[in-house]
Amino acid sequence: IDPKYVYAWNNKGDALYNLGKYNEAIECFNKALEIDPDNDHAKHMKENALI
């Protein structure tokens, strides 16, 4: 993964979330938010994974 490509982190996070690997998904969404703090998708999915 290109460490600065926010969409790759979101996609990886989505895949891990769908596999039930919530902690790993949160790590990916956190990386996406480091790159783009206003990324609504990463915020929303991170919230879902934390529930």
Instruction: Give this prediction's pTM.
Output: 0.93
How many beta carbons lie within 10 A of that of residue 7, not counting itself? 14
Residues 6 or more apart whose Cβ sits within 8 Å of residue 27: 13
Residue 19 belongs to domain spanning: 6-50
Q: Is residue 20 a part of any domain in this protein?
A: yes
Task: Please give the tally of structural domains in the chain.
Answer: 1
Residue 19 domain flag = yes
Q: How far is CA 33 from the centre of its chain?
A: 8
Give dist(CA 50, CA 47) in Å, integer: 5
Give the distance, in angstroms, between the CA of residue 26 and the centroid of all CA atoms in the same chain. 6
43 found inside a domain = yes
Q: Is residue 45 in a domain?
A: yes
Determine if residue 32 is left, alpha or beta; phi over 0 gives left, psi from -120 to 50 gives alpha, anything else beta: alpha
For the stretch 1-51, pLDDT in tens is 688 999 999 999 999 999 999 999 999 999 999 999 999 999 999 999 999
CATH number assigned to the domain comprising residue 31: 1.25.40.10
